[in-house]
């Protein structure tokens, strides 16, 4: 099956992957858009997974100030070598993460960090809301789980939609960086401050 430049362009816009990789994915998927995207995702994840067990003890602390000093972010991103830590691409990625944290205000890096207490509170809120909306009892559990997943998408940095491209999550962006740089990259920790917020 002949792959058109229009198909390649569409996949490229959706994934941010290079032209040759897009063509290969479309060929593998016989021109099927969804299968091609899935193929690229698996390929990126496979590359990232191979590097995940490698030690990442170099890196940078990115300091980001937003809105004339109204919001401040400090994020630590680690990689394997000092050479990569000093590279322009890695520093740009660190800056983008600082911008993301300032704009989207995540509370956690990954879902595993959310305590059971917080999840239980969210479950109760979701249940109360569903009951208030008059949802049938037989679909209550699915609605609660769906809202819990949406909550995780909002509060976990890696699951958030990238503010510059809503089709890409921060996890996707991280995987792209790992594939491009060829080293394990770890978002270690972050703090976000906003003028006037309550300190708990």
- Ordered structural domains, the chain, with CATH: 5-51 (1.10.8.10), 58-109+156-194 (3.30.479.20), 115-154 (1.10.286)
Q: Which two tokens stand for residue 124?
A: 């109760």
- Whether residue 149 has pLDDT greater than 70: yes
Task: Measure the CA–CA gap between 111 and 52, rounded to whole angstroms.
Answer: 17
- Identify whether the C-beta of residue 192 lies closer than 8 Å to the C-beta of residue 78: no
Task: Measure the CA–CA gap between 34 and 89, rounded to whole angstroms.
Answer: 29
Quick one: pLDDT at residue 71?
93
Q: Which two tokens stand for residue 131?
A: 């009951």
Looking only at the bridges linking them, the beta strands covering 161-162 and 165-169 are: antiparallel
Quick one: pLDDT at residue 73?
95
Sequential DSSP letters for 24-52: HHHHHTTT-HHHHHHHHHHHHHHHHHHHT
Enumerate the H helices of 63-169 as residue ranges.
82-85, 88-104, 116-132, 140-155
Q: Which two tokens stand for residue 198?
A: 């309550």
Torsion of CA 114, 165, 101, 109, to 10 degrees: 30
Q: What is the per-residue pLDDT across 152-199, written as a single tens digit (0 to 9) for each? A: 999 999 999 999 999 999 999 998 888 888 888 899 999 999 988 776
């Amino acid at each position: 099956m002949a792959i058109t430049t229009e198909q390649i362009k569409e996949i490229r816009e959706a994934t941010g992957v290079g032209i040759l990789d897009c063509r290969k994915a479309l060929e593998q998927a016989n021109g099927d858009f969804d299968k091609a995207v899935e193929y690229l995702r698996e390929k990126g994840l496979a590359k990232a997974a191979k590097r995940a067990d490698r030690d990442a003890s170099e890196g940078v602390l990115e300091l980001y100030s937003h809105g004339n000093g109204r919001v401040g972010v400090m994020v630590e991103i680690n990689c394997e070598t000092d050479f990569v830590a000093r590279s322009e691409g890695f520093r740009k990625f660190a800056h983008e993460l600082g911008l993301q944290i300032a704009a989207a205000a995540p509370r956690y890096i990954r879902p595993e960090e959310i305590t059971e207490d917080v999840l239980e509170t969210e479950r109760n809120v979701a249940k109360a809301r569903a009951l208030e909306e008059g949802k049938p009892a037989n679909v209550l559990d699915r609605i609660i789980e769906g809202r819990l997943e949406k909550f995780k998408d909002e509060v976990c940095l890696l699951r958030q939609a990238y503010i510059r491209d809503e089709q890409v999550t921060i996890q996707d962006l991280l995987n792209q960086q790992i594939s491009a740089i060829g080293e394990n990259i770890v978002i270690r920790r972050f703090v976000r401050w906003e003028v006037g917020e309550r300190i708990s």
